[in-house]
Structure formats: C-alpha cells, structure tokens
A = this chain, B = another copy of it.
Amino acid sequence: MSEQTAEGVRQRNLSRILRLVHLEGPLSRAALTESTGLNRSTIADLVAHLVRGGLVQELAPDRSRRVGRPSPVVAVDPRVLVISVNPEVDALTIAAVGLDRGIPIRERIDLEHLITPEETAALVAERIAAWRAGALADRRIVAVGLAVPGLVRAADGLVRNAPHLDWIDAPIRDLVAAATGLPTTVGNDASLGAIAEHLYGAARGIDNVVYLNGGASGIGGGLIVHGMPVGGAGGYAGEFGQNRPGIASDRDRRANSGVLEAEVSRARLLAVVARPSADEPTLAALLAATTLPDAIAELARQRGILATALANAVNVLNPSVVVLGGFLATIAERDLEGLTAAVGAHAMPASMEGLDIRVAVLAEDRLLIGAAEAAFADTLSDPQGSTAAQ
C-alpha cells in the first residue's frame, strides 16, 4: 500500500529519466538535471539505480569545449530489446528493436498463403529462439509488440477482425505470450504508426495530432490527444476509413456507400495509371510524374474528398498537425497547398490557424517502431518493476 509516496515518486522520476534518454537520445547528467528540475545528487542516485537495473549506461563525457567539469553522458542500454512483429497479407516482418531505437536484426518472411494466428505465434517464438542462440546472444529481450492490420481490442489484445488476414476474434496476444514466454502487446497498425510519427516523426512532440494512413487494405489512422495515443473505450479509435464525409458533387461520387476508403483508394489510383499493382514508391513516382488528364483528375477528386474528411476531424479535434502516410501522402504531396486550402474551406478558420498538414516522414520502419514503443511501455513507465521481473 505504499503507492502514493515511497515507490510512487521514485518510480515516477525513474520513468521520467528513462523516457528522456529513450526519446531524446543520450543526455548528460547535467542536461537531465536541468530538464527534470531535480537535484544533481538525486539525478546521480536515480541514474545509478537505472544502471544497476541494466536499462541505461553511463558513457564518457562528451568533448564539448564547454567550461566546467564534464558531465557523464547517460544513454539507454542498447542491449535491451523488444521484438516487433507485423503480419501482412503476403509477408510477416519481424525485427528486434532496441531501447535506443536501433534495429540490429530484421527479417521479412514471404508467405505463400495467409498466415494463421497460431502459425504467427509459432514463427515468432522460433525466430526469437534462433536469434537468442545467435545474433542476440548477449541481449535482453523484454517484450513482444505486434502491429496488426485490423481491429484490436485493447483490454486483452484480441484481434476482433483483420479482414485481409482473415483473422476473426484471434487471441493473438495470449498465443504469442504463451509461445514466447514474453509480455506481449498488440495494436492496430495505423494507431501504432501514429504513435511512431508522434514520438519520432512528422508530429514529434506535438500534443494534438490526427494521423491518416492510406494502405492497400484501406484507410486507417490514429489520434494523439493530450500528448497521449487515443484508444477509446475498446481500443478501436482512429478508424477514419469507415467514415462518410460529405461529397459536394454527385459527379465526384464513385461508391454507393460514400465511405471514405471506397472513394479515396489505392485501387482507383492504380486504375488510372493502368497498373495491376505497384509498391508504394513506384506508385508515388508514377503519380508524381504523370501528365495523364485522367490521373490528375482522379488525384484531385480524391484530394477533395479527403479534404472534407480531414476538415471534419479538424473541426472536432482542433489538432496542431495532420500527418498523412501511405498513398494519402502521395495524394497530398502533389498539391499540398491545394489540399490545405480545401481543408480550410470546410473547417473553421480558427481551427486552421495553428494547423499544419504534413506528410509522414518515417519510412518502412514506422510500424516496427510503433509496435516496439507499445512493447516498451511497461518498462518505460515502471523501470524498477520491469527490472525486477527480468
């Protein structure tokens, strides 16, 4: 029952320091003292505590031609890892991600057929065992994080429905946790992408973010409010793809439903450039260079509908930054001013004042980083508890 003071303050301060060096990179003890407002002696004690727990290292001071006694640099221990997993239709990506955001090892396993939850768990466990015996022999794997293209119930990591994987009510968290013996977190891929862009990408440090990602399977997204990811009651928040935005002219409507991801879709973009399929950079390059009137018109049509959907979100959430990823980035980049103006035409002027619509900057690592961040969450918020459990 000593949660209010003894452990409470200690845990809080340990967490703050670990988060700082995790998010900002290596920092001198003097810098930690300044940015936490804690006393020098307290910082020394807390850092020593984290060092004993194997979470951070103290390195030789930086040669920085500053006057005064040099301050040791505190850096995260790169040997602390989580395993990030991203099952997709045609492949499963699995990687080890360090507390320093390094990715010492990564594999993309091509799949002949749709992978089942059980196969996923077995495959993850098998890879971890192999890595532990090899490349990651001296590392410490503390958790597993999965980014799943589907609805994930936050309470128990149950995949309610991942249509492209054909997973329905798959207890993937428990399966992976049982197979690996590691604490496991599961999240929606787009929501984890939003977290990654918030922490390290286009929306770094921004407290109010709307993130939309366009993928082959549709449009997903995530929100950051109060500087925290928004899950909602069940963890299903951020599903912009199923929204129905107003469509000004019937000529712009293609689908009966009026659902955003039926109107604004990768398939329709592929169609206008007459390609059966293409990977994301290829499609982006094609569309950026095209002079086909039909393609330009289709981009403009989709941009217009996207603008209304974004304006709706801006009116409700008043974010500082809207981040667009996947093919939505391609649609936006061709005319970012036009998109911003179109959003402004439908959103309230006051909400537009502080708004910046940006393109995502994290590349293919985005989901791995997002999943890793979710997996690290426990360690970051309770460094000593997670150390003891080691």
Chain A residues packing against B (C-beta within 8 Å): 1, 3-5, 8-9, 12-13, 36-39, 151, 153, 160-161, 207-208, 221, 223, 225-226, 228, 230-240, 242-248, 250, 258, 308, 311-313, 315-320, 346-348, 350-351, 353-355
B151→A230 contact, CB < 8 A: no
B315→A234 contact, CB < 8 A: no
Question: In the complex, which of the residues A5, A36, A240, A246 has the most CB atoms of chain B within 10 Å of its own CB atom?
Answer: A246
Q: Please name all residues of chain B whose beta carbon is closer than 8 Å to the beta carbon of A350 when the two chains form the complex.
A: 151, 153, 160-161, 234, 236
Q: Please name all residues of chain B whose beta carbon is closer than 8 Å to the beta carbon of A317 when the two chains form the complex.
A: 223, 230, 232, 237
Taken together as a complex, chains A and B put the C-alpha atoms of A313 and B311 apart, in Å, by 13
- Specify which of B228, B243, B316, B351 is in contact with A223 (CB 8 Å cutoff): B316
Please, which residue of chain B has its CB at the minimum distance from the CB of A38?
Answer: B4
- Once A230-B226, A232-B317 are accepted as A-B contacts, the answer to whether A348 and B239 lie under 8 Å apart by CB is yes
- Specify which of B9, B153, B237 is in contact with A8 (CB 8 Å cutoff): B9
Q: Please name all residues of chain B whose beta carbon is closer than 8 Å to the beta carbon of A160 when the two chains form the complex.
A: 350
B351→A318 contact, CB < 8 A: no
A351→B234 contact, CB < 8 A: yes
Q: Please name all residues of chain B whose beta carbon is closer than 8 Å to the beta carbon of A320 when the two chains form the complex.
A: 233
Please, which residue of chain B has its CB at the minimum distance from the CB of A258?
Answer: B246
Q: Please name all residues of chain B whose beta carbon is closer than 8 Å to the beta carbon of A246 when the two chains form the complex.
A: 243-247, 258
B3→A234 contact, CB < 8 A: no
14 contacts between A and B (CB under 8 A): A151-B348, A153-B350, A221-B316, A231-B318, A234-B351, A236-B351, A239-B318, A242-B346, A242-B348, A243-B311, A244-B245, A244-B308, A245-B312, A316-B316
Chain B nearest CB from A125 CB (Å) reads: 28
Q: Please name all residues of chain B whose beta carbon is closer than 8 Å to the beta carbon of A230 when the two chains form the complex.
A: 225-226, 317
B1→A37 contact, CB < 8 A: yes
B9→A243 contact, CB < 8 A: no
Chain B nearest CB from A79 CB (Å) reads: 29
Q: Please name all residues of chain B whose beta carbon is closer than 8 Å to the beta carbon of A1 when the two chains form the complex.
A: 37, 39
Q: A226-B226, A244-B346 are in contact. List 20 more A-B contacts (CB 8 A).
A: A4-B37, A208-B232, A230-B317, A232-B318, A232-B319, A232-B351, A233-B320, A234-B318, A234-B350, A234-B351, A234-B354, A236-B348, A237-B317, A238-B316, A239-B315, A239-B348, A242-B315, A242-B347, A244-B308, A312-B312
- Once A225-B226, A226-B230 are accepted as A-B contacts, the answer to whether A316 and B235 lie under 8 Å apart by CB is no
Q: Please name all residues of chain B whose beta carbon is closer than 8 Å to the beta carbon of A3 when the two chains form the complex.
A: 37
**10 A-B pairs closest in CB distance:** A232-B318, A244-B246, A246-B258, A237-B318, A233-B320, A236-B318, A243-B312, A239-B315, A233-B354, A208-B233
